Amino acid sequence: MNNILALQNDEGNLRYRRAIRATYDTAQDIVLLQVICAVAIPVVAALVTFVLPDAKPYTAALSMLLVLADIYYLDRRQKALLKLGAKFGEEFDTRVLNLPWDNFTVGDKTTPEELHAAEIKFKARTTKAEFTDWYPVAVGAAPLHLARLLCQRANLSYDEALRRDYSRFVVRLALGITAALFVVALAQNLPLKEFILVVSPAMPALAWAGREFLRQRDAADAQDSLRKQARKVWDDALAGHCSEDSCLLKAREFQSAVYLRRSSAPMILPGMYKSKRAVLEDQMNSTAADFLAEYQRSIE
């Protein structure tokens, strides 16, 4: 009933999936560097002060420098990569879902040079097989105006679940590290001044964790709101209250919202996506099949 399944595996469109992956991999490398600067180095510095008490002023100064480096370089670089990756994603979706380009929201398309550079980075990191069948197989049996909604909803639901899992992981990691430092400091029965100097290097870790938790939860909540709106449009379409042309306009509006979320939502740590991929893809395919069954019942 539509050619989404064929288009998503077309070589010309897979180029964009490879570019997306390469760009986000680079952004995730920066996230990992942020974690090292905000969590690993301060924690090691705190442990060093137990052995070398005279190093406390230096470790405190190092912690402040790391915070500044994160704010003024690492975070800005990550945001630039997020925007580029979101544009690659927008080009993939508009080509596969047969949607018009929203120049007002997204701006200009990526250049051939940007696409080629991202593909070169990709070649040494992964394989083409990871990106075939990006959208659920069930969407192939729905009319195009409904299949678009299914694909967009799948994007939103997948991303929301991943971010909620990651936000919980971040909080557990930060609390565990901070608790360990407190236990060690208390076990040594340090006076208040010494206690503060020892624990202070952990503050960047808490700042990073708090920032990441709030950003990820905010992004997940925004995705949930969009997903609920997509459900309403789906119900209206099944009830005959949304024509194909009207659904196309709605799909373009949703796509613009998806782009804005992609270009501004924070990245997650490397490895989190791969660890959750199998479960989330199974859930995505199962949910799409349920929605398709709803459509089939509506036309009986």
DSSP string, 30-79: HHHHHHIIIIIHHHHHHHHHHH-GGGHHHHHHHHHHHHHHIIIIIHHHHH
Kindly report which listed range (126-140, 191-205, 247-261) carries the lowest average pLDDT score.
Answer: 191-205
Task: Work out how many domains the chain is built from and give that number.
Answer: 1
> Average pLDDT over the chain, rounded to whole?
88
Lowest mean per-residue pLDDT among 53-67, 166-180, 283-297: 53-67
pLDDT at residue 254 is higher than 90: yes
Which residue would you say has higher pLDDT here, 72 or 192?
72
CA distance 136 to 8: 11
pLDDT value for 179: 81
Q: Above 60 in pLDDT, residue 129? A: no
Longest dimension (CA), the chain: 79
Cα 17 to Cα 12, 46, 122: the distances in Å are 10, 42, 10
Which among 109, 137, 156 is positioned nearest to 261, based on CA atoms? 156
Write the Ramachandran bin of 99: left for phi over 0, alpha for psi from -120 to 50, otherwise beta. beta
Among candidates 89, 234, 65, which has minimal Cα distance to 153? 234
* pLDDT tens by residue, 64-92: 788 788 888 888 889 999 999 999 999 99
pLDDT the model gives residue 126: 63
pLDDT grade for 164, boundaries at 50, 70 and 90: very high
Q: φ, ψ for residue 100 (rounded to 5)?
A: -70, 155
**Residue 105 lies in domain:** 4-298
Predicted local confidence at residue 282, as pLDDT: 92
The mean pLDDT of 143-169, rounded to a whole number, is 93
Q: For residue 280, which of 164, 172, 167, 171 has the smallest C-alpha distance? A: 164
CB-CB neighbours of 149 under 10 Å: 23
